[in-house]
Chain A
């Protein structure tokens, strides 16, 4: 059995049970963040999907894939969003290569 159970996603709201104030504040904030604003709800959904992948959160991937389908977002758009996340993630690793280069140059330049 995996540590992750897809059915646990349905219980996310129960987080509030053991700390009502903090849980409620979180869900209020969460709901507000995803409302239509300067960014459309559709754009926010794609950002969430990309971040879900960089965070490698199975619950979030489950939730925002479904959310994307509900909004009519195509699988091509979803895959591009995932690549944006992956590109940033790999870029974030790679840019540290500059640190390595700096160190090499300092120690052995």
Chain B
């Protein structure tokens, strides 16, 4: 049994639950008085402004903000109280796009995407479109949360879904601190169930990757080193196997921004991000090859811009009027949170980029 870590900002009626307040916060203070350069100024120095998309490779669809967990640093502000859920009608509009897109990867995320009542129908339909890589971002605990989800590993296998799951640390203490009491044990149980049906085994086509994001106000270290440590401990102590580890930087938005401010770490964290700015990561940031679709069908440059309600700067703004050529001509909307994707080896939903 897992225990919720906290409440969503929405539930707490926090000021930071409003996207415009977050954007405002990120533009004020150290960035307004010139102590630190804005992201736009920084990428102008390396002639990378405006940021433009390259060929679309990944279509990321957020099927709803409802989740069985309330993790401390969730950038979606997801939780059981969030009622924003993609309808079947919007899913059908997405399917039209999935059938015709040039993107090779379809990436379903949430919340816990499995909690959308039409999730299985959507996966079944989408898997017929012949997309090369079909990702579902599963928080793991949902698999063991309720009997009706216990067959998810078999369901994923049937549709050759690539499972990508969060795992902030290989110790119970650090994982539960970030994601709620009991989350580590439940995640281990779910990983074993995935392994049992063939996920994550060396050489297996059933891909199982883990996502690591730091448990506090610090950046991730090198992805390769972390993967080695994760593999060693999970294999030796729990007999669990997985393929790759993606190290993701926490972006200063939503609940993580709230945490940074409350713990008096905001300025230091922003300094760390700016100091770690890597121009070569800019050319590969995920917004250059990804489009993010929200539960209600609006289009965004990335999942983070979705949470900040910064819709694409294009005359095409909704999945119902999708046009890849027009969308590819847009400028990507940036703000100071973008430093999170260009720090060190860079960060994206697929891990390091540089």
Contacts and interface: CB of A to CB of B under 8 A. Distances in A.
Given A10-B275, A41-B225, A42-B225, A70 B218 contact: yes
A69 B271 contact: no
Interface in B169-212: 169-171, 173-174, 212
A47 B228 CA distance: 20
B226 A72 contact: yes
A66 B218 contact: yes
A72 B169 contact: yes
A2 interface: no
Nearest to B267: A7
Query: Interface on chain B toward A: helix, strand, loop, or mixed SS?
Result: loop
Interface string A14-35: 0000000000000000000000
Interface string B216-237: 1011111001100110000000
B110 interface: no
Contacts of B153: none
Contacts of A83: none
A71 B275 contact: no
A72 B170 contact: yes
A36 B228 CA distance: 13
Contacts of B215: 69
Interface in B222-265: 222, 225-226, 229-230
A105 interface: no
Interface in A47-106: 66-67, 69-72, 74
A56 B215 CA distance: 27
A31 to B, nearest CB: 14
Contacts, number: 34
A47 to B, nearest CB: 16
A10 B271 contact: yes
Given A42-B225, A42-B229, A70 B171 contact: no
Nearest to B171: A74
Band of interface residues on B: 20 to 34
Nearest to B224: A36
B111 interface: no
A62 B216 CA distance: 15
Contacts of A36: 225
A74 B214 CA distance: 12
User: Which residue of A42, A71, A72, A74 has the most chain B CB atoms within 10 A of its CB atom?
Assistant: A72
Contact of A70 (B170, B219, B230): B219
Contacts of A66: 218
B89 to A, nearest CB: 43
A40 B171 CA distance: 21
B239 to A, nearest CB: 20
Nearest to B168: A72
Contacts of A40: 225
A83 to B, nearest CB: 19
B174 to A, nearest CB: 7
A10 B218 CA distance: 15
Nearest to B275: A10
A72 B174 CA distance: 10
B216 A69 contact: yes
A71 B171 contact: no
A71 to B, nearest CB: 4
Interface in B145-183: 169-171, 173-174
Interface of B: 169-171, 173-174, 212, 214-216, 218-222, 225-226, 229-230, 271, 275
15 contacts: A10-B271, A66-B218, A69-B214, A69-B215, A70-B214, A70-B218, A70-B219, A70-B220, A71-B221, A71-B225, A71-B226, A72-B170, A72-B212, A72-B226, A72-B230
Given A42-B229, A67-B221, A72-B230, 8 more contacts: A41-B225, A42-B225, A66-B218, A71-B221, A72-B170, A72-B229, A74-B173, A74-B174
| Chain A to chain B: the 8 pairs with minimum beta-carbon distance, closest first | A70-B221, A71-B221, A69-B218, A70-B218, A66-B218, A72-B229, A72-B226, A70-B219
